[in-house]
A and B are shown apart, each in its own frame.
Chain A
């Protein structure tokens, strides 16, 4: 617990997580059409008879750039806590999407995580565990305050209590 509150650990976690998010965004940004196809394959937000193509298309357009912004924030440490909240939410959505595809028996050859063209990494249990590990890192950044940010008053009140 003490280690998790070390500012250095926060900075390192932010750099690693931010680098992963930035790296993940590049191919999707270069080939939005291919990424949109992958989003379709998950069959989570369409296209379906109820939702047209706009919902998955919008996601394919916007998601990589949110990854860029969040990645940059995590990497530089500006608004790290908030960026980690968004990153954690995204990872949570990814886990649910992959798990639901697995449960429904949808074979997703390319998960659309990093590379969107050709045969990418499949969507399976290993992917879920990888995402959960990153989710844990994001949770630490979002909910465990680093020591330096702790207000001095808390320390004194603890001292008086004992």
Chain B
């Protein structure tokens, strides 16, 4: 029985060692502590892909100033305004760190807020995709929106 335990440990040890060696020297390895979703470049998706993600439970973030979010927003989205990032981030942080399917949008037509928020999230080790052309792309496609000031969407 004792030799069995040793053999099991041995099989596992060989597997673990090979894995770590391959990861270090094959050139195909991944950084151990880094979220593999995070890339140097932003991931930009179209409205249709964003809708599909929303239907699957993706977390949506609104990078516009908070008043826009209060007026009308993508259902289920949370406000993470670019111009007031820190407090909103603190509130959302546990949620953001427990998911990896995050989509950011802003007011569209080349708006930069999504990219700035995505960059700040990336610095903090969180990956988020950007909805291309943001809000107008969403509404032009006829996807649902939500109005009203209630905080919990």
Contacts and interface: CB of A to CB of B under 8 A. Distances in A.
Contacts of A83: 11
Nearest to B7: A82
Instruction: Select the residue from A29, A69, A79 with max chain B CB neighbours within 10 A.
Output: A69
B30 A33 contact: yes
Interface in B111-130: 125
A54 B19 contact: no
A37 B29 contact: no
Size bin of chain B's contact surface: 20 to 34
Interface of B: 4, 7-8, 11-12, 14-16, 18-20, 22-23, 28-37, 56, 93-94, 97-98, 100, 125
23 contacts: A30-B28, A32-B28, A37-B36, A40-B35, A40-B36, A40-B100, A48-B97, A52-B125, A57-B32, A58-B32, A61-B19, A61-B22, A61-B23, A62-B16, A62-B19, A62-B20, A65-B18, A68-B15, A69-B18, A73-B11, A81-B4, A82-B4, A86-B11
Given A33-B30, A57-B30, 19 more contacts: A29-B22, A30-B28, A32-B23, A32-B29, A36-B36, A40-B100, A49-B97, A52-B125, A53-B35, A53-B36, A63-B19, A65-B19, A66-B12, A67-B15, A69-B14, A69-B18, A79-B7, A82-B11, A86-B8
